Chain A
Amino acid sequence: MKREHKLRLVRPDERATFEDEPPPSPEELAEAEALRASLEKGEHPLAVVLRSASAPLSLDDALNDALIERALGKSEARAEGEDEPPTASERAGAARLRDALDAPRGEERKVPLVELAEALVAAHQPRSIEPLRNEALIARALGRTSAQPRKGRVLSVVTAAVVMATAAAAGFVLTLRPSAESTAFEAAELQRSRSAGELFDTPFPRVGGASARVDRIASARATELRQNRFALWGVR
Chain B
Amino acid sequence: MTRRSVKMGIVAIALAVMGALGASCARSDRAATQPAANEPGAAPVVDSVLLAFLSKARAAHHKADLAEASGDVAGAIAALESLTNGARPGGATPLPEASEVLSDTYARLADLRSAKSEFDAALGDVDAGLLLAKETTYFRGHLFEVRGLVEERRAKSMPEGEGRERARKAAMDAFDEAVRIQDQVISSALGDAGPR
Interface residues of chain A, those whose CB is within 8 Å of chain B, are 152-153, 155-157, 159-160, 163-164, 167-168, 170-172, 174-175, 182, 185-187, 190-197, 200-201, 203-204, 206-207, 210-211, 213-215, 217-218, 221-222, 224-225, 228, 232
Contacts and interface: CB of A to CB of B under 8 A. Distances in A.
Nearest to A206: B145
B138 to A, nearest CB: 5
B45 A186 contact: no
Interface residues of B, number: 63
28 contacts: A152-B2, A157-B8, A160-B12, A164-B15, A171-B19, A172-B23, A175-B20, A185-B31, A190-B36, A190-B45, A193-B44, A193-B45, A193-B50, A194-B43, A195-B100, A195-B137, A196-B100, A204-B104, A206-B145, A206-B146, A210-B105, A210-B107, A213-B104, A214-B57, A217-B97, A221-B54, A224-B46, A232-B28
B185 A197 contact: yes
A203 B55 CA distance: 23
Interface in B30-62: 31-32, 36-38, 42-48, 50-51, 54-55, 57-58, 61-62
A131 B24 CA distance: 66
The 9 closest A-B pairs by CB, nearest first: A171-B20, A156-B5, A167-B16, A164-B12, A160-B8, A218-B54, A211-B61, A163-B9, A190-B45
B168 interface: no
Nearest to B99: A195
Contacts of B20: 170-172, 174-175
Nearest to A211: B61
Interface string B107-149: 1100100000000000000000000000101110110011001
B170 interface: no
Given A182-B31, A232-B32, A192 B44 contact: yes
A193 B89 CA distance: 11
B87 interface: no
Contacts of A206: 145-146, 149
A149 to B, nearest CB: 9
Contacts of A200: 138
A197 B46 contact: no
Nearest to B140: A197
B27 interface: yes
A191 B97 CA distance: 13
A210 B139 CA distance: 10
A221 B37 CA distance: 23
A210 B43 contact: no
A217 B105 CA distance: 13
Nearest to A167: B16
Interface string B5-19: 100110111011101
A232 B33 CA distance: 12
Given A163-B9, A214-B61, A217-B101, A193 B54 contact: no
A33 B141 CA distance: 133
A167 to B, nearest CB: 3
Contact of B4 (A156, A175, A182, A215): A156
A224 to B, nearest CB: 5
A122 to B, nearest CB: 37
A191 B32 CA distance: 10
Contacts of A185: 28, 31-32
B137 A211 contact: no
A162 to B, nearest CB: 9
B142 A203 contact: yes
